[in-house]
Structure 1
Amino acid sequence: MTGRPAREQIWDYPLEALREALINAVCHRDYTIPSNTDVRIYDDRLIVWSPGGLPFGITMEDLYKPHSSVLRNKGIGGIFYDMGWIEQWGSGIDKMRNTCTKAGIPEPQFEEYQGFRVIFRKDVYTEEYLRDLGLNERQIKAAMYVKEKGKITNKEYQELTGVSRQMATIELADMVEKQILVRVGIVGKGTAYHLTKMTNK
């Protein structure tokens, strides 16, 4: 007996990351805009949207490096801090990224789109996500193939996409450089390519 429930609940997205996204949305939204903070759930993603862009003095680039916290609503932020929901000012973005990586799903995307939104995805290897990384349609087709089959060789890439051996080598190397695929085996006919990350689904 461990004292733990017999069936452990596994969530599509780490709850700690979702909590941080919601806290940020409430603390940093622009309350002069008569719109609701919005949570939308789709089959493959979850989006948290809040009115108003980033606070003045913070850029999108700042989110990916250590930055000071610029509170648009200090009163709300202070309440959350006193309740223990905010542990350290300016740490929410890193916490979202780290908890998603630890859970085996993509890091959330942050966008200024008619406000500010955080996009959580279940699967690293959706076509939309791969396209955003700059992969062409042949490479995306190959990634879908590896999701199903577990691996791909240079010859299989040629047969799947209709390109030459040289082009297959170039495009597979590009996928390795983009950290989508990892090369396994000795150089030559024994080489195969696997997905760098596997989802926990």
Structure 2
Amino acid sequence: MREENKNLEFKEKISKSYLKTVSAYSNYSGGKIIFGIDDNGKVIGLEKITDIKLNIENTINDSIKPKPDYTLEIEKIEGKDCIVLSIRRGNFPPYYYNGKAYKRNDTSTVEVDRVELNRLVLQGSNLDYEEVEIENTDLKFKFLEKKLKEIIEIKELNLDILKTLNLYKNKKFNIAAELFADNNTRKFSGIDIIVFGENINKILFKENIEKKSILEQYFETISIFEKYYEYEEIIGFKRIKKEKISKEAFREALANAIVHRIWDINSNIKIVMSNDKIEIISPGSLPQGISENEYMKGYISILRNPIISNIFYRLRIIEKFGTGVMRIKYEYRESFTKPIFEIDENSIRVTLPTIETTPSSLVNGEIKVFEILKKYNKLSRKEIEELCNFNKSKTIRSINSLINKSIIKQVGKGRSTKYQLKNS
């Protein structure tokens, strides 16, 4: 049975309420409205189909400003005449109906709030939020200047360099400049950090980092990571610095949270640190035009904040744009535990677990079988038996135990049966 969804709406009768949905689809991801189907997905059909089609076309052209990009087609559905209205996402938002702009909320259509409307206006003007000019002329950039001197060896931060960095244009600073300034006068969101001990009832550290350059916020957060997740191990006569969680993965996840977050949301980046993992929650989901699959595989990169991204790139905090997820995954290539990426409608959560080259739950023969499979990837029971120097009974017992713990899996059947790590 047909069902309505975010990008599909049914209309049994013609009423002007569909114009709100035309506005919503034009402003965001596009969609279809099918006239002649009721809310339950039952095909009713329409009479005087040509007249209705012309009426819909004239009503849209008269009611939606600016004119949306759409097509109208008469189609036979289950032998009955219906009209399919296909609306594409427009290039010049916001698209208004009766002076209001709309968006889809699951299967309903609602008016956008002030923040969303401002975003649509900027988008229609081909501007990013960070580019908006501000009136404040008294911004200081001591921390930014310090890092530029350290990393790219400038002599001093002058107006010409600020122009090159796109922080100053038309004799005015922009929001990006204010975010990098030491003396933020606007109330921008910052970073909330909490460090738990053995459980959530034991808080070791808690801090809100804000009202300072986002660059300083980044480095201050890295210092907190180093305090709780770096340690030294004496090997022979040397002290070797080690990490419970990959510092490079954390740096990348933190930089991505700052660079790609939506800055007009009044919500802090949240970092939750505990014994076995770190969670980084960034406000705002993926930019328009990129799917979850493309984000996870790094196929394309759409920069929400290109000015901020460019400065972080120049300071060598991030590398090639769009490679963040792949770099985080790479840092866990030898670890049994893997990072988790969760994408919701209004946030992105990255969970970095402690690195485990061998699962801590393994005992006796399981450890040897695990290490052998990690080295050789896919082996038969006989091959595992020979490489581990186990008898048949011990080999089968160890394999079955690892399968029960969801650490290895069986591939194939009968004589072609082999085993490999689940995370391979």
TM-score by length of structure 1 reads: 0.62
**Is the 1:35–1:51 contact (alpha carbons within 8 Å) kept by the matching residues of 2?**
yes
For 1:32, what is the secondary structure of its paired residue? coil
What residue number does 1:147 align with?
A: 362
Identify which of 224, 244, 254 aligns with 1:22.
254
Contiguous gaps of at least 5 residues in structure 1: 126-142, 153-178
Where 2:341 maps in the other structure, the secondary structure is strand
Q: CA–CA distance in 1 between the matches of 2:272 and 2:245?
A: 13
The aligned residue for residue 107 of structure 1 is 338
Alpha-carbon distance in 1 for matches of 2:274, 2:248: 19
Aligned identity (percent) is: 30
Alignment partner of 1:73 is 2:288: no
- Structure 2 distance, partners of 1:105, 1:30, is 33
- Deviation (angstroms), 1:45: 1.0
Q: How does 1:83-94 map to 2 (within 5 A)?
A: 83-94=315-326
- Whole-Å Cα distance in 2 between the matches of residues 150 and 74 of structure 1? 52
Aligned to 1:119: 351
Alpha-carbon distance, 1:59 to partner: 1.9
Deviation at 1:72, TM superposition (A): 0.8
| Stretches of structure 2 lacking an aligned partner (at least 5 in a row) | 1-236, 368-376, 409-420
Report the alpha carbon displacement of residue 107 of structure 1 after superposing the two structures with TM.
2.6
Deviates more, 1:87-96 or 1:107-116: 107-116
Query: Which residue of structure 2 aligns with residue 189 of structure 1?
Result: 393
Match for residue 128 of structure 1?
A: none
Larger radius of gyration: 2
Partners in 1 of 2:241 and 2:272 — Cα distance?
A: 22
Q: CA separation in 2, counterparts of 1:123 and 1:87?
A: 23
Q: Kindly state the Cα deviation for residue 63 of structure 1 after the two structures are TM-superposed.
A: 2.8
Match of 1:42 among 274, 295, 298: 274
| Residue pair 1:96, 1:107 contacting (<8 A) in 2 also | no
| Partners of 2:351 and 2:333 in 1: CA distance | 14
Cα distance per residue 1:36-95 (max 9 Å; x no partner): 111111121110111011111222211332412111111110111111222211111111
Aligned residues of 2:337 and 2:354 also touching (Cα < 8 A): yes
User: What residue in structure 2 maps to residue 156 of structure 1?
Assistant: none
- Structure 1 residues 58 and 83: alpha-carbon distance in aligned structure 2, compared to 1, 3 A threshold: same
1:54 maps to what in 2? 286
1:110–1:119 Cα contact (<8 Å) kept: yes
SS of equivalent residue, structure 2 residue 239: coil
Counterparts of 1:57 and 1:106, CA distance in 2: 31
Provide closer, same or farther for how the CA distance between residues 96 and 31 of structure 1 changes in structure 2, counting only shifts above 3 A. Answer: same
Q: Deviations over 1:136-156 (max 9, x none)?
A: xxxxxxx98x6244429xxxx
2:325 paired with 1:82: no
Distance in structure 1 (CA, Å) of the matches to 2:245 and 2:269: 19
Q: Give the counterpart letter for 2:287 in structure 1.
A: P
Shift of 1:100: 1.6
Match of 2:263 among 15, 31, 41: 31
3-state SS of paired residue (1:119): strand
Distance in 1 between residues matched to 2:353 and 2:303, nearest whole Å? 27
TM-score (norm 2): 0.31
Task: Check the 8 A contact 1:68/1:89 in 2, yes or no.
Answer: no
Q: Deviations over 1:90-123 (max 9, x none)?
A: 1111110001224x25231110244101001126
Give aligned pairs, total: 147
Alpha carbons of structure 1 residues 121 and 91: separation in structure 2 relative to 1, 3 Å: same
CA RMSD of aligned residues (A): 3.1
Asked if the contact 1:105–1:121 (Cα under 8 Å) also holds between the matched residues in 2, the reply is no
Instruction: Name the SS for the 2:258 alignment partner.
Output: helix
Q: In the aligned structure 2, how far is the partner of 1:108 from the partner of 1:58?
A: 21
- Partner-residue secondary structure (3-state), 2:284: coil
SS state of the match for residue 31, structure 1? coil
CA contact (8 A) 1:98 1:107 kept: no
Which protein has greater RCO, CA pairs closer than 8 Å, 6+ apart? 1
